[in-house]
Structure 1
Amino acid sequence: MRAFENYSSNCSGPVTILPYVNVAQYKYMHEAVCNLAQDKMVPFILIPFQENDQIDLGGYVARSIQKLNARFQARALCTIGILVDRNSRLGSNDNSNLVFHVGIFFIGGKDDREALALGIRMTQRENVMVTLFRFVVTSNNNNKTKEEEEEEEVEEMLCESLIDEFKSMKFARGNVTWYEIMVVDVVEIMDTIRSLEGNYDLVMVGKRHNIGTLNDEEMAIFIENAETLGMLGDMLSSTEFCMGMVPVLVTQCGGVGESVVPKLCRIASATVSQKSMNVIK
């Protein structure tokens, strides 16, 4: 709590810390937090992953926190962010002049849009550099119903609008970079992500995606925490990416009642040309 209060006192932006104490059993903790978030119109809840800092919590506690996180994801109306930070480097250097590098991996869907919207807000700080890697799946699925095609068109419009807003930050502040990467299937997505290792301070990705080729059965041998982190979130937080040394924030858009609590994501209006990237595997 002192760390949060210190940040509130010394940060350059308007940050207020309101501490609460709640005593409850693990299976009921999420109810108090979600109710408070709904009452206060909170758009974003950040919770820790159960395996952070490699602390041995014991089997019962670790499983309880894992179930708690799953209840948050099932119950919360606002956006949920799970921070995987097993080998933290965050806060290790107090020099505020250093550049903080954030990487966003974007395929499509409302969860990815929440991650990108959060990245757009991060660009408001001059010492934060945000890089967007957008994957475009080129394989065609001709077995879709008319309703599915219409839903996909709406999703694509929402994604394009937010991506255009992100690109417009290049002209406003100049601290953003984006790449568009053409891929065929989920296997190529995973292989490409491994080739994009870099000096990130944080990477962000949505839990779920609206691409039909992303299915758990195809990549089951790689998945350990897909239920909590999603397939890409699990991969990014593993030793397969940057030796597991980079903190990963996995976002999930809230469930029912989306009109009650505002989301991070919103429709943009700017239209900017895009940049492509050839990845050598």
Structure 2
Amino acid sequence: MHYRHNAELRVLACIHRPDAISAITKLLEVMCPTSERPVVVFVLHLIELIGRASPIFISHQMQKKTMSNNSSYSKNIILALNHFKRHNSGVVSVNVFTTICPLMFMHEDICILGLDKLTSLIVLPFYRKWSIDGLVESDDNTIRTLNCSVLELAPCSVGILVDRGHLGRSTVSSKSSYSVAMIFLGGNDDREALTFAKRMANNRNITLTMVHFVAVSDDVDSHWDKLLDNEILKDVKLNNVGDEYVIYLEEMVKDGPQTALIVRSLVDEYDLIIVGRWHNVESPQTSGLAEWSEFPELGIIGDLLTSSDLDSKSSVLVVMQQQQIDS
């Protein structure tokens, strides 16, 4: 939110498995980098250190030879990202690193690299993996624990990317349309998520829809929060965001169940849905939903979109603005 409109966006993307590369590169593609708004990407390949050896931190830009262990994984990542860089020449810079450390310290390496490279967004993969037919293939609770640790200590905003098996298989090309929705309820995280989504309003092949959930009776949010929300929504309502048309929809809701019903109706209409984490915030729009939450790290709306009983092909990006630490 606090970046200048034409400033470069510095992103740290974390990868545990080679099959996550396509989803990450797709997300980078829909950021719509341009010469006026370039993207600098730092990709961190995370490898668990087994035994008592000292942690290792490798820059593949500095290294002439790759390590023998896990080298094929790192090579695949480098090849895929170099291909992405070539297709976005002059507007994307890519730097690949590998960290080999114990799981209990991995979140520290992520946060240290993010701080060192002055990134504004850290992208983490969700711990659950889906197949292309919508079935859950595997869960890795060590990744879930790692994500939660990063959320607590991150030096910048964090996005958890939930790939339902389709994000990396569709393309943003001249022959296809890629549909993105941003669900907005209000608050810091939603404002951060909306700012990120606005970058996508510069590609004619991306359809961006902003869905604003408004409470019929809203006495919970602070007056200041409402002023900030209205300010960031102003250009969206006027369709003055980017070069392409942005669809603005407003949904009046009375409670959480009504919100859930509308959110569930959106999952088959979009390739990617962006939401704010909006964690531990009470509001009329989400009343009664928190007690059913399965994934608290995704917030209430992110949890709804990622529910195991939801047959969805929409991938989800849950954004949390850097938390303010009380002194």
Distance in structure 2 (CA, Å) of the matches to 1:28 and 1:63: 15
Letter in 1 for 2:196: L
| Superposition deviation, residue 182 in structure 1 | 0.8
Percentage of matched positions with identical amino acids: 29
Give the TM-score taking structure 1 as reference length. 0.78
Is 1:250 the equivalent of 2:321?
no
Greater shift, 116-125 or 66-75, is seen at 116-125
Stretches of structure 2 that go unaligned for 5 or more consecutive residues are 1-76, 131-135
Give the total of aligned pairs: 243
2:284 alignment partner, one of 210, 213, 227: 213
Letter in 1 for 2:300: M
Q: Is the partner of 1:244 in helix, strand or coil?
A: coil
Stretches of structure 1 that go unaligned for 5 or more consecutive residues are 259-281
Distance in structure 1 (CA, Å) of the matches to 2:277 and 2:241: 30
Distance in structure 2 (CA, Å) of the matches to 1:100 and 1:12: 22
Q: Is the partner of 2:294 in helix, strand or coil?
A: coil
Letter in 2 for 1:248: V
Q: Match of 1:56?
A: 138
Instruction: Please state which structure has a larger fraction of its residues in strand.
Output: 2
| Superposition deviation, residue 165 in structure 1 | 2.5
Superposed CA deviations along residues 99-155 of structure 1, whole A, max 9, x for unmatched, are: 2110111101111111111110111222211101001112244xx7xxxx7xx1111
| Superposition deviation, residue 3 in structure 1 | 1.7
Distance in structure 1 (CA, Å) of the matches to 2:188 and 2:210: 16
User: CA contact under 8 A between 1:101 and 1:200: conserved in structure 2?
Assistant: yes
| Superposition deviation, residue 219 in structure 1 | 2.6
| Superposition deviation, residue 40 in structure 1 | 1.8
User: CA contact under 8 A between 1:8 and 1:16: conserved in structure 2?
Assistant: yes
Distance in structure 2 (CA, Å) of the matches to 1:29 and 1:156: 38
Task: Supply the RMSD in Å over aligned alpha carbons.
Answer: 2.5
Q: Match of 2:57?
A: none
Distance in structure 2 (CA, Å) of the matches to 1:96 and 1:12: 18
Q: Match of 1:223?
A: 293
Residues 1-281 of structure 1 mapped to structure 2, 5 A cutoff = 1=77, 2-11=79-88, 14-53=91-130, 54-56=136-138, 62-93=140-171, 95-141=173-219, 152-170=222-240, 172-208=242-278, 210-213=281-284, 218-219=288-289, 222-225=292-295, 227-238=296-307, 243-256=311-324
| Superposition deviation, residue 88 in structure 1 | 2.1
| Superposition deviation, residue 211 in structure 1 | 4.4
Distance in structure 2 (CA, Å) of the matches to 1:222 and 1:133: 23
Greater shift, 19-28 or 5-14, is seen at 5-14
Deviation >6 Å, runs of 4+: none
Distance in structure 2 (CA, Å) of the matches to 1:235 and 1:221: 12
